[in-house]
Amino acid sequence: MSKTNKDTAMIIAMYVRNEMEDFHCQHLSDAQMRELNPIIRNAIATALYMLRNYGTDETSTKTLNFQGMLIPEYWEEPEIAESFVAL
């Protein structure tokens, strides 16, 4: 995995972690967050790798196509985080 991919994954994961802070305080222990954080970072890094290699790497292409089929219809469209908009 490229350094750019790793750096991008770390930044995205940090933003996800910060957006989860209130949820963490209300529902998850620090130990649970320590376990969850690398899962999130690794999933983001893997998704970035697959996106960058879509169409040129068979595993990336097949996995992303499959993941796309798993997205439930009831999921809301992504929006810019309120914390960012507030800035």
Signed CA dihedral, 59, 62, 68, 71: sign only: negative
What's the confidence (pLDDT) of residue 2? 82
Residue 78 DSSP SS3: coil
pLDDT values of the chain reduced to their tens digit, one per residue, 87 residues: 788 889 999 999 999 999 999 999 999 999 999 999 999 999 999 999 999 999 999 999 999 999 999 999 999 999 999 989 988
Digit-coded pLDDT (tens) for 64-81: 999 999 999 999 999 999
CA distance 36 to 20: 11
